[in-house]
Homo-oligomer: A and B are copies of this chain.
């Protein structure tokens, strides 16, 4: 897992270089055939990437986005009207039958289809009309890391193709930001050691980093068996905040930008409830230190739009370090296999 976390700058560069070829053509095609709706279908880590795509595409293109519930198709056999929609399947292996079934049905009902996958020969890649190939190299660890960031990168390119004002040059700066964030590894190892006995946690974020809350929580569940909740800062105040005490550490993604005011308010509230808080942020040490027990300071200064990939890196490192501190093998979570084909 640690090896794969460290491979991400190169993996992202390869993915970006590969996907940039031909993107202008796809953008021109979509400009003439703008979808009325984007539907994203995925499971597990890929579904967390989908959550990011949901925010990114709506914010940057104004096209409504729906995260599909695969069960609607697979167990209820419903036939949803996806005419003039763009239906996007995300699957690392490309072999999730649930997802392929939705794409097949969508195509029949008149949708365009896109696949985001690591595997060029997979069912999903063969099925989709346009494929974004994640060039992450083979992912051996059950806990997906480089696949997730590769999927996020693909979603930036998809949003670009849908007309979003996302510049390829800005995306090209992301691998370097990931590289500089990897330098936090030793500091994070130390912080994680302090959470060795943690059995439950909540991860809070908002907006474009909300997906990262899901992903960080999932990594802690998979590698360290921490019962980790994930919330949007807004929903958190609607009930779940009642359970906060010093036994429930809170992890917050807190980049500068539009979501900061809301996250700052959450941080103040949980401080007052005596929670142990860890914040991943680019805010100054002086400002952040008063709000949290531990501050993981991301070195890169980025527009909030480009923070989600670099910001998940400390979380991945933390999950791997926590498993190590707990004496667990992050690469072999109990009861899990790499590919879940059939649900």
Residues on B with C-beta less than 8 A from A110 are none
Stretch of A36-44, A167-175, A187-195, A288-296 that contacts chain B: A36-44
Residues on B with C-beta less than 8 A from A226 are 243
Residues on B with C-beta less than 8 A from A60 are 78
Residues on B with C-beta less than 8 A from A207 are 71-72, 75-76
Interface residues of A in 239-254 (CB under 8 A from B): 239-245, 247-248
Check: A183 CB closer than 8 A to any chain B CB: no
Check: A107 CB closer than 8 A to any chain B CB: no
Interface centre among A54, A60, A66, A143 (most CB of B within 10 A): A66
How many copies of this chain are found per oligomer? 2
Residues on B with C-beta less than 8 A from A72 are 55, 58-59, 207
Q: When the two chains form the complex, which single residue of B75, B79, B227, B334 contacts A262, counting CB atoms closer than 8 Å?
A: B75
Question: A76 vs B206: C-alpha distance in the bound complex, in angstroms?
Answer: 11
The answer to whether B75 touches A54, judged by C-beta atoms less than 8 angstroms apart, is no
Min CB–CB distance A63 → chain B (angstroms): 6
The answer to whether B66 touches A79, judged by C-beta atoms less than 8 angstroms apart, is no
Interface centre among A59, A199, A226, A244 (most CB of B within 10 A): A59
Interface centre among A232, A245, A335 (most CB of B within 10 A): A335
The answer to whether B45 touches A62, judged by C-beta atoms less than 8 angstroms apart, is no
The answer to whether A43 touches B221, judged by C-beta atoms less than 8 angstroms apart, is no
The answer to whether B59 touches A82, judged by C-beta atoms less than 8 angstroms apart, is no
The answer to whether A242 touches B199, judged by C-beta atoms less than 8 angstroms apart, is no
The answer to whether A80 touches B58, judged by C-beta atoms less than 8 angstroms apart, is yes
Residues on B with C-beta less than 8 A from A229 are 227-229
Check: A17 CB closer than 8 A to any chain B CB: no
The answer to whether B44 touches A238, judged by C-beta atoms less than 8 angstroms apart, is yes
Q: When the two chains form the complex, which single residue of B82, B240, B336 contacts A239, counting CB atoms closer than 8 Å?
A: B336
Known interface pairs A59-B72, A227-B248; A241-B44 also in contact (CB < 8 Å): no
The answer to whether A340 touches B64, judged by C-beta atoms less than 8 angstroms apart, is no
Q: Could you list 4 further interchain pairs (A-B, Cβ under 8 angstroms) beyond the known A70-B234, A225-B245, A227-B229? A: A55-B71, A75-B206, A76-B207, A226-B243
Min CB–CB distance A213 → chain B (angstroms): 12
Interface centre among A54, A239, A248 (most CB of B within 10 A): A239
Question: A59 vs B221: C-alpha distance in the bound complex, in angstroms?
Answer: 31
Question: A268 vs B105: C-alpha distance in the bound complex, in angstroms?
Answer: 31
Question: A336 vs B240: C-alpha distance in the bound complex, in angstroms?
Answer: 9
Question: A96 vs B275: C-alpha distance in the bound complex, in angstroms?
Answer: 27
Check: A269 CB closer than 8 A to any chain B CB: yes
Check: A279 CB closer than 8 A to any chain B CB: no
Residues on B with C-beta less than 8 A from A232 are 71
Check: A69 CB closer than 8 A to any chain B CB: yes
| Chain B residue nearest in CB terms to A207 | B71
Interface residues of A in 210-242 (CB under 8 A from B): 210, 218, 221-222, 225-229, 232, 234-235, 237-242
Question: A232 vs B43: C-alpha distance in the bound complex, in angstroms?
Answer: 10
Known interface pairs A58-B72, A62-B78, A227-B227; A240-B262 also in contact (CB < 8 Å): no
Check: A30 CB closer than 8 A to any chain B CB: no
The answer to whether A64 touches B44, judged by C-beta atoms less than 8 angstroms apart, is no
| Chain B residue nearest in CB terms to A70 | B234
| Chain B residue nearest in CB terms to A230 | B229
Check: A343 CB closer than 8 A to any chain B CB: yes
